[in-house]
Copies of this chain bind each other. A is one copy, B any other.
Amino acid sequence: MKSKPGTVELAHGAGGRATAELVAALFARHFDNDWLARGDDGAVLPAPAPGERLVMATDSHVVAPLFFPGGDIGCLAVHGTVNDVAVMGARPLWLSAAFILEEGLPFADLERIVASMAAAAHAAGVPIVTGDTKVVERGKGDGVFITTTGVGALPPGRELGGARARPGDAVLVSGTLGDHGMAIMREREGLNFTAPIVSDTAALHGLVEAALATGADIRVLRDPTRGGLGTTLNEIASQAGVGILIEERQLPITAAVAAACELLGLDPLYVANEGKLVLICAEADAERVLAALRAHPLGRQAARIGQVLEDARHFVQMRTALGGRRIVDWLSGDQLPRIC
């Protein structure tokens, strides 16, 4: 098949002149840093400060469509991995980015995505220091997939992790739930008659630092992405060997997301977020942490939504708006494929 001008060709992934030109004209130009400019097989980076440990996290991004209200696969790929590093308590330092392009992808789309990644990385202060580009034949990919890996530095003594939740702890979220997932679904399903929904995709390391700076005993930080709040809480309950009880009335959900969920028969508890934190801390520190979250631009609608319980079954439960209790089980189907 002859390629159209202005689109990605198999030669761009062959490692020869076309690959070198693509890297120079697009990736190195937008990501613009000395590590990439060196053109070696990897980046040489300074060591973290004495006593700091490293944190490493990776995510492949396959979201469809590539562009959506509030963002695109490019900024999402930066935010997603910055957040995975940040919720470990670490300061995100560097990102790598590996692209799998489908033959025929318009360069204009690719450039828009790369520019968005560059802007997100710049805003987050986390440079993209090394990368890779592969091209697959038409019909063997879907536009572009982006895998980012992040490395960060974890200060001495900072210990966070799902296993640290304890009975009595408070459960907080940093804002409204389900915005990212429903922004994608609304776009995909063409629900133009419902109110607009904008993805919450954002880098959360500043918000994380604001919470940690309170000195509170924060046990767990998570970003409830794929699978949403319900899945994240089940993971934590299982890791820590505890139960969790949340209050439906306390869950911050916008009217637009609630309406779109109802229309599509989706439960907002399982809808992905890309700019929200779940935070579990000692009960005594909860108000202080909540105040710190609300003082940050990304946490204005933070809420206390529940507590950790002793429960040998490791159930996540919800007290409903009507006062009953229901189990919030693991998501068991493919509610929202390719949401991130």
Q: Considering only CB atoms, which chain B residue lies closest to A153 in the complex?
A: B47
- What is the minimal beta-carbon distance from A213 to any residue of chain B, in angstroms? 20
Q: Given A46-B54, A331-B14 in contact, is the A59-B132 Cβ separation under 8 Å?
A: yes
* A44 contacts B by Cβ under 8 Å: yes
* A337 contacts B by Cβ under 8 Å: yes
* A216 contacts B by Cβ under 8 Å: no
A163: chain B residues at CB < 8 Å are 38
One of B58, B62, B330 near A17 (C-beta < 8 A) = B330
Q: Considering only CB atoms, which chain B residue lies closest to A333 in the complex?
A: B11
CB-defined interface of A95-128 with B at 8 Å, one 1/0 digit per residue?
0111110000000000000000000000000000
Question: Contact at A58–B337, with CB atoms within 8 Å?
Answer: no
* A166 contacts B by Cβ under 8 Å: no
Question: Contact at B53–A50, with CB atoms within 8 Å?
Answer: no
A60: chain B residues at CB < 8 Å are 98-100, 132-134, 147
Question: Contact at A57–B39, with CB atoms within 8 Å?
Answer: no
CB-defined interface of A309-340 with B at 8 Å, one 1/0 digit per residue?
00000000000000000000111111111100
The interface on chain A, measured as residues whose beta carbon lies within 8 A of the other chain's beta carbons, has a size of 90
Stretch with Cβ within 8 A of B (4 or more), from A135-143, A190-198, A242-250: A135-143
Question: Which has the most chain B C-beta neighbours within 10 Å: A41, A94, A225, A334?
Answer: A41
Please, how many angstroms separate the alpha-carbon atoms of A262 and B136 in the complex?
Answer: 26
- What is the minimal beta-carbon distance from A339 to any residue of chain B, in angstroms? 8
Question: Contact at B147–A136, with CB atoms within 8 Å?
Answer: no
A223: chain B residues at CB < 8 Å are 41
One of B50, B62, B227 near A15 (C-beta < 8 A) = B227
Please, how many angstroms separate the alpha-carbon atoms of A35 and B222 in the complex?
Answer: 17
* A231 contacts B by Cβ under 8 Å: yes
Interface residues of A in 141-198 (CB under 8 A from B): 141-142, 145, 147, 149-152, 154, 161-163
- What is the minimal beta-carbon distance from A1 to any residue of chain B, in angstroms? 12
Q: Given A20-B235, A38-B161, A50-B50 in contact, is the A9-B334 Cβ separation under 8 Å?
A: yes
Question: Contact at A42–B55, with CB atoms within 8 Å?
Answer: yes
* A84 contacts B by Cβ under 8 Å: yes
Interface pairs A-B: 8 shortest CB-CB: A16-B331, A15-B226, A42-B57, A15-B227, A149-B149, A147-B147, A58-B96, A17-B330
Not counting A41-B222, A44-B154, a sample of 10 additional A-B residue pairs whose C-beta atoms are within 8 angstroms of each other reads A47-B50, A54-B151, A56-B96, A60-B99, A62-B100, A98-B149, A136-B145, A136-B337, A140-B142, A151-B151
